[in-house]
Amino acid sequence: MSKVLIDPGHGGIDDGATGFGIKEKDRNLVMAKAIARELRLQGVQAVLTREDDKSILLADRIALEHKEKPDCFISCHMDAAAETASGMTIWVHSKADNVIWNWALDVMNELKAVGFTTNRAQSVSRGYPGSPSSDYYVNRETVSPSMLIEFGFITNQNNLNEHIEHCTEYAKAVAKAVCRFIGVEYKEANSDGDGKSNCAACCRTCPKVEKFQQGMDAERTRADQAEAKLQYLKDYLNR
């Protein structure tokens, strides 16, 4: 049976980045669990480095990878920067061969097909930000083919909203490309049992996500009102 190890970045005392009151560690766990669910629906064994909000050393994540010997390893993260920065990035080892590079391109293409806000051209990269010859710990120390996915910027309102709203679709996109990579035929499954449940619904039970969503709704209302005001002025002037 094929096996994939999924690593929700950070956890416990390590929040990772924060945006709009939401912690990266929590979003990473939601995304990792969604990917695991999609892979299990395809008959792939999915193992997580953490199942809940607990601290876990990078070395322990790698020790688990050595023990489990998965077919591939995926670390889930979110970026942080100025509010204007947006887009997803996949990081592979600085010396990743073409097989891994093409796998990363395939994952990115599937993610792009779902759609996300981006202001960056580069989407798949080797090495480490600003240092192509160094590597993320999880890409450097893993034995299996690995990648680290930055599922958008938690500091960008659109990306965070997309992470919440389209979590299941992104997870499916990753699962599709992973199945192709490990030679498992991907079948459109009837999704999550009830065919309807998605991350957006379960995330809304989190008060912080609810607050963020309310903020987004308020912003849309403000934009609508501004538009209506402008239209009123235009109509007035054209009278």
* Residues in contact with Zn ion by the rule CB under 5 A: 9, 16, 77
Nearest distance in Å: CB 219, Zn ion: 26
Annotate 123-141 with b (16+ C-beta within 10 A) or e (fewer): bbbbbbeeeeeebbebbbb
Within 8 A by CB and 6+ apart from 195, the residues are: none
Identify which of residues 16 and 145 has a Cβ nearer to Zn ion in the complex.
Answer: 16
Nearest in space to 53 (alpha carbons), one of 84, 13, 83? 13
Amino acid (one-letter) located at 140 = R
DSSP for 159-172 reads HHHHHHHSHHHHHH
Nearest distance in Å: CB 79, Zn ion: 8
Q: Cα Rg for the chain, rounded, in angstroms?
A: 19
Identify which of residues 2 and 123 has a Cβ nearer to Zn ion in the complex.
Answer: 123
User: Six-digit token pair at 186?
Assistant: 């991907």
| Cα gap 21→160, rounded to integer Å | 11
Nearest distance in Å: CB 239, Zn ion: 56
User: Six-digit token pair at 62?
Assistant: 């790698």
With vertex at residue 124, the alpha carbon angle to CA 120 and CA 127, rounded to the nearest 5 degrees, is 110
Nearest distance in Å: CB 110, Zn ion: 21
Task: Return the bridge partners of 117, or none.
Answer: none
Nearest distance in Å: CB 29, Zn ion: 12
Identify which of residues 19 and 145 has a Cβ nearer to Zn ion in the complex.
Answer: 19
Within 8 A by CB and 6+ apart from 208, the residues are: 21, 22
Residue nearest to Zn ion (CB): 77
| Cα gap 143→77, rounded to integer Å | 20
Identify which of residues 108 and 138 has a Cβ nearer to Zn ion in the complex.
Answer: 138
Beta-carbon count within 10 A of 81 CB: 13
Nearest distance in Å: CB 9, Zn ion: 4
Identify which of residues 54 and 234 has a Cβ nearer to Zn ion in the complex.
Answer: 54
Nearest distance in Å: CB 197, Zn ion: 26
Identify which of residues 19 and 179 has a Cβ nearer to Zn ion in the complex.
Answer: 19
Identify which of residues 16 and 127 has a Cβ nearer to Zn ion in the complex.
Answer: 16
